[in-house]
Amino acid sequence: MNYENILLSIEDGIAHLRLNRPAKRNAVSNGLLQDIEAAFDGLGADTTVVVISGEGAHFSAGLDLSEHQVRTPFEVLQHSQWWHRVFHKVQFGGRPVVAALHGAVVGGGLELATSTHVRVAGRSTFYQLPEGQRGIFVGGGASVRVSKIVGADRMTEMMLTGRRYDAEDGYRLGLSHYLVDDAEVLPEAFRLARQIATNAPLSNWASINAVANIGDMSMANGLYTESMAAALAQSSDEANKRMQDFLNRKKG
Ligand code: 1HE
């Protein structure tokens, strides 16, 4: 399938989705959001991991401000919920997603990045929530996802001051899990993707789904759900085989 705003390739079960509006700093237009949604919807069972990166000098400059139009409150609500639906597919689509970040990871770009599970950032990366300066509010999930990572207190500060956090700051705060030279971002993201693809699919599924859901539960419900996920994973043939393989690794 051909997309106007992304490039999508799949090799050895790993999909590479490249945001492809470099002249507009990969600003998230309706067309780009539509393409991301269609790409995730169209992935087959043989695609186990996704890597997302941005073409050009930046990952993404966030909401495409040139598409700003005066909308009714209900229209804005529906537009925001569309972003939520798409980023929900990124986070809970059943496949681990690795973000390869560089340059601007700003506004809606940060909302996309924080929907992924593993984030590798180059030294040129910077993070910002400039919504306050633009007279709007976040609408693509930042109040939930960014604030879970950096804390509500720091997200409030980011929004009020609009300040840029650099790559080191972002690494320290958990906005990225890896910090490497820009040239190493994609190789490192693919190395991690290939490694993640060797895990048991059920373990990957639980890491993505169970952990995030348990985070929203009471302690009692969380512990109960953890036991249920453990019961599913540990009683699988795959788990038996992998544990036996480990125990027998020095024999024979
Ligand atoms: C854009 C956008 C955009 C660039 N929408 N067109 N996001 C922002 O407030 C960030 C706005 N952008 C920037 O701060 C800068 O562009 C960058 C720091 C990301 C990059 O700077 P630079 O010097 O490399 O590029 P530039 O010269 O500023 O922009 C190049 C072109 O991209 C230019 O268009 P041109 O036709 O004049 O060449 C820019 O207009 C265009 N461009 N960013 C539209 N964002 C669900 S709610 C989410 C809410 C938000 O995301 S708010 C944050 C919006």
Q: Each residue of 238-252: pLDDT tens digit?
A: 999 999 999 999 776
Phi, psi at residue 75, to the nearest 5°?
A: -65, -40
Residue 138 alpha carbon, nearest atom of ligand 1? 47
pLDDT digits (tens, 9 = 90+) for 174-227: 999 999 999 999 999 999 999 999 999 999 999 999 999 999 999 999 999 999
pLDDT (mean) for 16-21:
98
Give dist(CA 155, CA 158) in Å, integer: 5
DSSP structure string for 71-130: --HHHHHHHHHHHHHHHHHHHHSSS-EEEEE-SEEETHHHHHHTTSSEEEEETT-EEE-T
Give the residue numbers marked as catalytic. 111, 131
Q: Which of 25, 67, 129 to mutate to test the pocket of ligand 1 (most atoms within 8 A of CB)?
A: 25
Q: Is the pLDDT of residue 228 over 80?
A: yes
184 SS3 class: helix
Quote the pLDDT of residue 100.
99
Q: Whose CA is nearest to atom 5 of ligand 1?
A: 64
Q: Compute the residue count for the chain.
A: 252
Distance 27 CA to ligand 1 centre (A): 6
What does pTM read for this prediction? 0.97
Single-letter code of the amino acid located at 152: A
Are the C-beta atoms of residues 86 and 116 closer than 8 Å to each other?
A: no
Q: What is the pLDDT of residue 250?
A: 76
CA separation for the pair 230, 249 (Å, rounded): 24
Residue 11 parent element (H or E):
strand 6-11
Determine the pLDDT at residue 24: 98
Write out pLDDT tens, residues 177-187.
Answer: 999 999 999 99
pLDDT tens digits, residue range 96-148?
Answer: 999 999 999 999 999 999 999 999 999 999 999 999 999 999 999 999 999 99
